[in-house]
Chains A and B, each alone.
Chain A
């Protein structure tokens, strides 16, 4: 796939002492890690560790109680969620969050919203500049879909696709934002070994072809160890390890956090 239609420089995503409290519950406790530019960074941890909370706090859906998240120079904390796309964050979702009745192309084009212009009147009157803008965005969306292997399904309703392809639509939509950081929420959820391997390849291709950073939450250790450049481990809202995959695998604190699981599960 070509480099981004919009020039993207990829700064580091710095999470600094991020704390999120809901009433009496501390979901995230002074978590700090950095997603280096152009790397695949995995966020793992047992259930309830705070991974989704971290994701939602980074994208502004949850308000951070304290701490900050910075993308390069830009402060992301206290930024409303709808500005995230414009700042370079592209997010895929755990439950897909697609519009099942709309076509694949329409779904992916939602990701282009912040890059496009044209309100009701301009679009309704089919102003030439609006039409041209729409065509350009559709071309780019088609290109992204082609890259992800769903180029043949552009005009099918998204809900009619098999689960794996729907996941790709979700990822395509996140890529349509032309992000500096692609955030994937459990990309391998609900997939068998073969599909997981494919997703792993896709993620690596995205990093290599586009040079963007990828931050992913994942439970599948095979995927994580296979493609991550760095792994951050959370447990009960606290960071317990932040290192290369091989080191994290051997970390006794990590093994203890996954206590109850066989050692084989994390190797």
Chain B
């Protein structure tokens, strides 16, 4: 299996509204894939379908050869999809370090009894977790802020922390929901570097939603354009962005 993600004919309706219809996509390993489209096109709904927040009423989601359609958010994360959110969702009262350590929760484990009595395994695993988490924080330039409460981080750092936390779950596929939202051009530039670095350093496959065309054309290798819940165009970034239909959807009649 070369494709990390294979989505086939995915669809969901809310009431009478077909929010996503017949959505298919294939993403190869270590690809940087963009999902774009006007507001309300159904991009975040697709993320919610992929992560089990919503259950699709048609179609299939295959992750690395395993069917994860209809599974719970928790199981889908365990199967290997992690995400960030459009409106940042950190554990605001926990420290930056602990935010990442919560991400390590399922892959580094000891029992409740071991933690209450502080048995050797507790110390061993905690040490392991601290090391891994600090490594991750270093990658994102957050090492100095490890003990800061997450809610006290500046906005740009919060976005980075969210990505670090998602990576801590050791996903096969990382979903980024508008990572550049609210950033100035300099920060966006830096973010683009970072996303590329994450892909190369962690051999990560990334699917991202973005409005910032500079970011999309700058780092995405493949694109899918969504309009009214349906795929408008799909393929290489340069080809898709020059598609007259896409230009029309973005610029209007």
Q: Please determine whether chains A and B interact with each other in the same assembly.
A: no
Question: Which residues of A approach B to under 8 Å, CB–CB?
Answer: none
